[in-house]
Amino acid sequence: MVRWRIFLGTAFAALTMAAGGAIASPAAAAPTSGDGAVNPTPSVVGGTRAAQGEFPFMVRLSMGCGGALYSPTLVLTAAHCVSRTGANSSITATLGVVDLNSSSRITRRSNYVYRAPGYTGAGKDWALIRLASPVTGLATLPIATTTAYDSGTFTIAGWGAASEGGSQQRYLLKATVPYVSDATCNSSAMYGGEVIAAEEICAGYTSGGVDTCQGDSGGPMFRRDANNAWIQVGIVSWGDGCARPNKPGVYTQVSYFSSAIRSAATSLGG
């Protein structure tokens, strides 16, 4: 099953990224750029380097996932990146840098994890991680509360693999991917009904080449809103391999869960 393959991949990433462990060097083989752009340091698959400060809300989590700073003390990530709801001081979040080895990085320990209620491995792939102390001076990423922004061109970013089966990245990579409708994504040519249309949103090129990949899970997919501000529309969740033709990335549809995320955040103290 596709989902099992992905979750096993995530477990592997967690093992190889042992808590607080060293960051693997960039993948040796450069993937083909999906957009034909000059691509000196690819990551995400088919991506390019993000500039320092470009996406201040990006978070790297020590189990080998991404996240987004939702508030000074809360990181929004994927349910499949965490094991349960409850007290948890084992996660380290790294923030404020594109280079995970930078001496100016900010780190915080977790003190609580909230996993989406009812999560059993398909859909509902969101979680909040509370940090032991607030992070100030970094912009947070607001979540979409309506479906108004659930189409168009999205930005993806992360420190995950730059090619299917590749190693985790030291430097934050970014790329853009177009929205794929539920009907297209669930067509027999693509996921044949595996996508939970109400809870998930697909993005990618029919020809493949650009995608999130293992280790990007939990990170945000985002775009500009009507005021030109970044807004989060997705959470990296799953896909069949990475950047394969006819296999777009599948993301948690944040707008669908926005009320639940907001009330969970309130219950966690902000």
Q: Is 217 a catalytic residue?
A: yes
- Least separation in angstroms between residue 183's CB and ligand ARG is 19
Residue 234: partners with Cβ closer than 8 Å, 6 or more residues away: 154, 201, 203, 220, 221, 222, 251, 252, 253, 254
Please report the DSSP string for 43-55 in residue order: -TBT-EEPPTTSS
- Least separation in angstroms between residue 6's CB and ligand ARG is 4
- Least separation in angstroms between residue 107's CB and ligand ARG is 21
Distance in angstroms between the alpha carbons of the first and the last residue of the chain: 37
Considering the complex, state which of residue 6 and residue 265 has its C-beta at the smaller distance from ligand ARG. 6
- Least separation in angstroms between residue 134's CB and ligand ARG is 27
Q: Is 80 a catalytic residue?
A: yes
CA distance 196 to 182: 9
Residue nearest to ligand ARG (CB): 239
User: Of 33, 43, 71, 125, which is the active-site residue?
Assistant: 125
Considering the complex, state which of residue 102 and residue 246 has its C-beta at the smaller distance from ligand ARG. 246
Considering the complex, state which of residue 43 and residue 214 has its C-beta at the smaller distance from ligand ARG. 214
Considering the complex, state which of residue 96 and residue 215 has its C-beta at the smaller distance from ligand ARG. 215
For residue 12, which of 220, 191, 160 has the smallest C-alpha distance? 160
CA distance 166 to 201: 25
- Least separation in angstroms between residue 240's CB and ligand ARG is 7
Considering the complex, state which of residue 116 and residue 242 has its C-beta at the smaller distance from ligand ARG. 242
Residue 199: partners with Cβ closer than 8 Å, 6 or more residues away: 123, 124, 125, 252, 253, 256, 257
Q: What is the 3-state secondary structure (H, E, C) of 113-152?
A: EEECCCCCCCCCCCEEEEECCCCCCCCCCCECCCHHHCCC
Residue 183: partners with Cβ closer than 8 Å, 6 or more residues away: none
Q: Which residues bind ligand ARG (CB under 6 A)?
A: 6, 10, 13, 160, 211-217, 236, 238-239, 242, 249
Considering the complex, state which of residue 130 and residue 247 has its C-beta at the smaller distance from ligand ARG. 247
State the Cα angle at 112 between 75 and 118, rounded to 5°: 80
User: Of 80, 163, 216, 240, which is the active-site residue?
Assistant: 80
User: Of 71, 163, 217, 237, which is the active-site residue?
Assistant: 217
- Least separation in angstroms between residue 13's CB and ligand ARG is 6
- What are the start-end ranges of the E strands in 32-102? 48-49, 58-61, 65-71, 74-77, 86-87, 92-95
Catalytic residues: 80, 125, 217
